Amino acid sequence: MRPYSASGPGVWKGALLAGCTLILSAFLSSCSVGSTSADGGPAQTATALITFCDDGVPDCPPVTTFSLSQMRDLVVKVDWFGVAPGNHTQEVRVMLPEGTALQVSDTGFLIGPESDSSFSSLQSVRMAGSWQAQRQETGTWSVDVLLDGRTVKSETVEMTP
């Protein structure tokens, strides 16, 4: 996926369009998983779109490269599509360049039978003043999102000094 360079309030709409594109491409790639509701409902193909921004920047436009010394918080937005009705658990793993998890966040959510099978979440990783910034944990960070224990999507961001 190309890095976002857009800014302004319309960028999340752009992200949604990209998400729709991703839904199509998901059928050709592996970033999807069949999701089954907790009560055994029909399986669906769940896909996820991951975008990043720094909430220290007005309107938090999606970008994929951040300056550790300049940024405020790393905001991870996950948009789910095609999730089967029922209770689900989203796990967001923010992984450091060495491959270990910096932060793991679990979020339970419910897709109702009448819903459009979508769900969105925001995870914020405090960066300003953190040891990651102080100790210059630069390089390629990755974020993995899992649905009910299975990895659905991974994305990377670049952290520069």
In the complex, minimum distance from the CB of residue 44 to other proteins, in angstroms, rounded to a whole number: 13
Beta partners for 109? 88
Of residues 2 and 40, the one with the C-beta less far from other proteins: 40
Q: Does 77 bind other proteins (CB under 8 A)?
A: no
DSSP 138: -
The span from the CA of 96 to the CA of 126, in Å, is: 14
Amino acid at 53: C
Q: Does 69 bind other proteins (CB under 8 A)?
A: yes
Task: Annotate each residue in 18-47 with x if it binds other proteins (CB under 8 A) or - if it does not, as one string.
Answer: --------------------xx--------
In the complex, minimum distance from the CB of residue 146 to other proteins, in angstroms, rounded to a whole number: 10
Q: Does 131 bind other proteins (CB under 8 A)?
A: yes
In the complex, minimum distance from the CB of residue 37 to other proteins, in angstroms, rounded to a whole number: 8
The span from the CA of 95 to the CA of 43, in Å, is: 29
CA 108 from centre of chain: 15
- Per the CB < 8 A criterion, the answer to whether 137 and 107 are in contact is no
Q: Does 106 bind other proteins (CB under 8 A)?
A: yes
